[in-house]
Amino acid sequence: MLNKFLPNEHVPSIFDVDPSELKNKGIKGVITDLDNTLVAWNVEDATEEIKDWFQKMNDLGIQVTIVSNNKEARVKLFSQPLNATFIYSARKPLAKAFKKARKQMKLRKDEVVVVGDQLLTDVLGGNMAGYHTILVVPIVETDGLLTKFNRQIERRILNWMRRKGKITWDRSDR
């Protein structure tokens, strides 16, 4: 069961998810988390770097859908200036929102990757839905109350994975 928490890849940040590499691998869609993946959880708007990343994805024909457990107002405010499709109140790790995002993009499972900063929501949900998952290091170390609790569980799972030799990287690798 703990293998469902194991991401296919681990990278320091969203900017290490290279649009050209995705295109070369046949990826046509990215399902990404918002808070602490694209921007810090307490930042309302996309940074210039995030805008550039979205533009590079778009230029290569890669669709990006933001899937967040946050409320509609938060996700909409962030997504609309980027012309990004989004799903709010996603109830991750349940697979429903991941499947909905893929269907909206009209893509096959093997054409989509899931990117996020949490094992208990993004990686678990993406893995359970059958997607390639990429774990990024959270942008900031502060979190909301529920996420703080999740991070404690996450640390235990990561320590178990490290002891079993399933991962070699450290969660704070930047």
DSSP state of 81: G
Nearest CA to 85 among 62, 96, 101? 101
- The per-residue pLDDT for range 9-41, each reduced to its tens digit, is 999 999 999 999 999 999 999 999 999 999 988
Residue 38 C-beta-side C-alpha neighbours within 13 Å: 28
What predicted TM-score, i.e. pTM, was given to this entire model? 0.88
Q: Where are the domains of the chain?
A: 10-141
State in words which class domain 10-141 has.
alpha beta
The C-alpha atoms of residue 28 and residue 10 are separated, in whole angstroms, by 20
The C-alpha atoms of residue 81 and residue 112 are separated, in whole angstroms, by 23
Which pair of tokens denotes residue 113? 């990757």
What lies within 8 Å, CB to CB, of 92 at 6+ separation is 33, 67, 69, 98, 121, 122, 124, 125
């990561």: which residue's tokens? 158
- The per-residue pLDDT for range 130-159, each reduced to its tens digit, is 999 999 988 876 666 566 777 788 888 877
